[in-house]
Structures are given as structure tokens and as C-alpha cells.
Amino acid sequence: MKATNFVLGATVVTVIASAVAWHHRPEPPHDATNIADATFIEGKAAGMKLDEVSCVRSAMARHEANTARSVDSSIRNGLWVAGCLVTSTARPDFCDQVPREGTDVGKWTVSACTFHGLSDPYCPAMFISVVQYCGSTARNEKLKGAIGA
């Protein structure tokens, strides 16, 4: 009987302590959507002053400078480079070696990281944005405008 009362009491104390901790938890400053949107917008602002190659170089520098690399940081850098590429100045040869689909994409993302001197497991995820951009209608239209200008 004493053991049952002890377990019941410990459970009640744990539940109350958890409820108090939950109620007093700090709120995150932004939700994930706001962070993603802000990162993409920041990339777009940078891209207005850069060409496509410079967007990738800048994203790689951001990634390399981050000592706490993670899936989250690679997603943020991928969003940043995606935004940057959207507003960047087109270079006709930028997408020449970028595969559009299939198993070549994975191999290319790893080799692109190696080319930039990075070998961490999070780097290739950022280059998915480059693959998507190079296969996009928006990039093709931008390139037509650059050539026609």
C-alpha cells in the first residue's frame, strides 16, 4: 500500500511539475514558416547584386562559416541560395553541368560540395536548390531575357 501511494504521489508531482514547466516555457521567437520566408527573402535581396555563380559561392561561404551545421542549417542555406538565384543575373553556362533528374542529381550534389571544398553530410542538400532552379521555367525565361537584352 505504501509503495502504491508513493508511486501515485510521484506521478502527481511529475504531472504538476510538467504542467508548470510547459506553462512557463519560453515561446520561440518565430515559427519555422517565418524563418523560411525571411531566409528566402534575404537570399532574394542578395541576389539582386550577384550573378548565379556568386550566389552559390556566397551560400557555400555561409555554410562553411557555420560551425554548428545541421539539417536545419542546410535547409536554411538551401532556401537562401534559392532566393538568391531567383533574382541573380543569369550566366549562360551556369546550368550546363547540372543534371535535371535521376541518380545523377545525388552524385552531382556531392561532387559540387567537393568542388567547393566541403565534405560534410549536410552540404549536398543545399545544391538541390540549384538543380531545381536550373530546371525551372523561370530560369529559362531569365536566360532568354539576358541573351535578348
In a domain, 8, yes or no: no
The neighbour count for residue 112, using CB atoms within 10 Å, is: 20
Q: What is the pLDDT of residue 147?
A: 63
In a domain, 1, yes or no: no
**Which residue is it, cell 531575357?**
145
Question: What is the domain count for the chain?
Answer: 1
In a domain, 99, yes or no: yes
In a domain, 18, yes or no: no
Could you give phi then psi for residue 35, rounded to 5 degrees?
Answer: -65, -45
In a domain, 136, yes or no: yes
Q: What is the pLDDT of residue 66?
A: 84
In which domain, by residue range, is 40 found? Answer: 32-148
**Per-residue buried b or exposed e for 67-99, using 16+ beta carbons within 10 Å of the residue's own CB:** eebeeebbbbbbbbbbbbbbbbbbeeebbeebb
In a domain, 89, yes or no: yes
Q: What is the pLDDT of residue 58?
A: 95
Q: What is the pLDDT of residue 8?
A: 35
pLDDT digits (tens, 9 = 90+) for 41-76: 999 999 999 999 999 999 999 988 888 888 888 889
Q: Which residues of the chain have pLDDT under 50?
A: 3-25, 27-28
In a domain, 11, yes or no: no
In a domain, 50, yes or no: yes
Q: What is the pLDDT of residue 2?
A: 52
**Three-state DSSP class for 1?**
coil
